[in-house]
Amino acid sequence: MDWKVIANEPWLWVCGFIQAAIGVYQAWYFFRLATRMLAKHGGYAPNQIRSIVRGAVITAIGPVMAEIFVMMALIIAISPAYCWQREGVGVGSVVTELVLLSNAAIGVGQVFGQPSFDIVGFAAAIVVVNLSCTLASLGAAFFTRSLGRARDKLSRGDARLMAVIGVTSSLGVFAFFAASEIKKAGGRELAVLSGALLSVFFFKLADWIKMPRLKEWALGIAMFGGTLIAHLCKS
């Protein structure tokens, strides 16, 4: 049997919908809990909470579109149903997903994306990617509480130091992924540089025109702008 037939079976779509429904419920539950805490314990007025929510929604547009691009890449690489099932649990990284698929195929003597890749390679890939997610979920479940204690020891109760650690950690993460993309060349270095410059520009522009809400859109605009500039220059 052709593995592509199995990769688009209805049961995979059903599993994806179940997983997505669980994710939506969790998001709604924590959203409701957070807004109630802001009102009850934080003393925020309803209009302030709405402003916070609006800013969060706008800021999320860029990452959400990036997730859609990830799904498109996986659809091309393997299949729509498989992609939906994987993204239903928020995989998020097409690079990691493709590496797992490739390594799984190599483990059974095949090459992913080549005619030699058959149902055996697909079965091995399914086992590897789901085992990886299972171990990651178990690790998060058992060690997240310890990470909180480690954070407190690291900051020694200093809120300002914790803020600095948070900023530097974010910079480190973004710098790591940016450097990884730059190494691949092929226009990626231009996309990274353009995105960084656009992000700085829009943050400064928001201050110049006294429009702080523009900063909420800066991330999404920078991501799309950097991608578009790199594509146009490469063309």
pTM of the full structure: 0.57
Mean pLDDT to the nearest integer, 214-218: 73
Mean pLDDT to the nearest integer, 170-182: 76
Return the DSSP state at 42: S
pLDDT higher than 60, residue 92: no
| Domain shared by 109 and 149, yes or no | yes
Question: pLDDT tens, 179-209?
Answer: 877 777 777 788 888 888 888 898 888 889 8
| Domain shared by 232 and 170, yes or no | yes
Q: For residue 41, what pLDDT is reported? A: 80
| Domain shared by 79 and 98, yes or no | no
How far from 208 is each of 204, 212, 214, CA to CA, in Å? 6, 9, 11
Domains identified in the chain, total number: 3
| Residues 155/161, Cβ–Cβ less than 8 Å | yes
Q: pLDDT-based confidence at 88, cuts 50/70/90?
A: low
| Domain shared by 3 and 15, yes or no | yes
